[in-house]
Amino acid sequence: MNKIIMITGANAGIGKETARQLALKKETEKIYMACRNAEKANVAKKELEQATGRNIFEVLIMDVSTIDSVRKAVQQLNEPIDALIMNAGGTGGKNPSELTKEGVTAITASNLLGHVVLVDELLASDKLQNIALFASSEVARGVKRMGMKRPNLKTSSVEEFVTVFDGSWFGKGSDPMEVYGTVKYGGTLWMSSMARKYPHIKFISVSPGSTRGTEGFDDLPLLQRVMFKYVGMPIVMPLMGLSHSLEKGAKRFVDSISNPSLKNGSFYASKESVLTGPLVDQSPIFTDLKNEIYQDNADEAIHQFIRA
């Protein structure tokens, strides 16, 4: 049973809605809201308390794009958690290809590197008990209907994944969604590798689907942002089965952490032709996802950027 849960990026969008839904479950005793901005997090905390009538939310300051911030947050955590929902991420801010001091792109730092450090630190301190969920995306296996190609690595070697994470694999002017999808692909493979290394913990990747009302694409170029947020998401995509509500996106996370039928190490998202509806295993859609060599290569590559 998941009584104590941590959610990264819990002050807005899917993270906040996930916290709200979890608080309505009787078995939930505490929710750690791991957020980088204390002011925004505390505002969200009060709103969640009012919405749920429960005083079970605790803010934990954590910037997942900064390794030192993640490590400090885990040190301040004074009890184990049952479930971790790695929701924070997005398209990498205003400069997604900018390199951090660790040598990864901003988009890799916020979606993946910080979460890798978070999981490592929680495991090392015996503070993760049951399950870790990584927010992946259908873009990680391609969305043909929307013209989004699946990641097309040549060898999926450690060296090639390193170039994905430091951005050198992509040419100038690369499509932000291609970069985002490839980084999420690497993160999904990492989770599968972790499932084999730590079989006593359940590691799953789950896509919230194409969800309206999130901030995940606020940093896309202007034209793409307008099309996604104000035309595609609210009007066109729902009619095509290509987007759903914030509540439905968050419910995927809420249901998944307590669903015993989801297999350890697997990636669950929408059926191939849509971005909504029931969750299905993605490995039959993109068989590279179940390649254990690729999984371990992605894991080794991202760990090369983590200093002791």
* C-alpha pair distances (Å), 40 with each of 16, 63, 179, 203: 11, 13, 28, 29
Class level of CATH domain 4-303: alpha beta
Would you give the distance in Å from CA 147 to the centre of its chain? 22
Paired sense of beta strands 280-281 and 267-269, if any: antiparallel
Amino acid (1-letter code) at residue 141: R
Residues of the chain with pLDDT under 70: 213-241, 308
Q: What is the DSSP letter of 151?
A: P
- Which of 88, 35, 95 has its CA nearest to residue 59? 35
The per-residue pLDDT for 235 is 47
Q: List CB contacts of 116: < 8 A, sequence separation 6 or more.
A: 190, 302, 303, 306
pLDDT reported for residue 218: 54
Taking the C-alpha atoms of residue 161 and residue 301, their distance in angstroms, rounded to an integer, is 6
Give the pLDDT confidence of 216-273 residue by residue, as tens digits: 555 555 555 555 555 554 545 554 557 889 999 999 999 999 999 999 999 999 999 8
CA–CA separation, 100 vs 166, rounded Å? 9
- Model pTM above 0.85: yes
**C-alpha count within 13 angstroms, C-beta hemisphere, residue 264:** 12
- Yes or no: say if 205 and 136 are a contact pair by the CB < 8 Å rule: yes
pLDDT of 202: 99
Taking the domains of the chain in order of start, what are their residue ranges? 4-303
CB 113 within 8 A of CB 104: yes
> Measured between alpha carbons, how far is 192 from 203 in angstroms, rounded to an integer?
7
What's residue 104's pLDDT?
97
Strand ranges across the sheet with 81-86: 57-61, 30-35, 4-8, 81-86, 128-135, 202-206, 267-269, 280-281
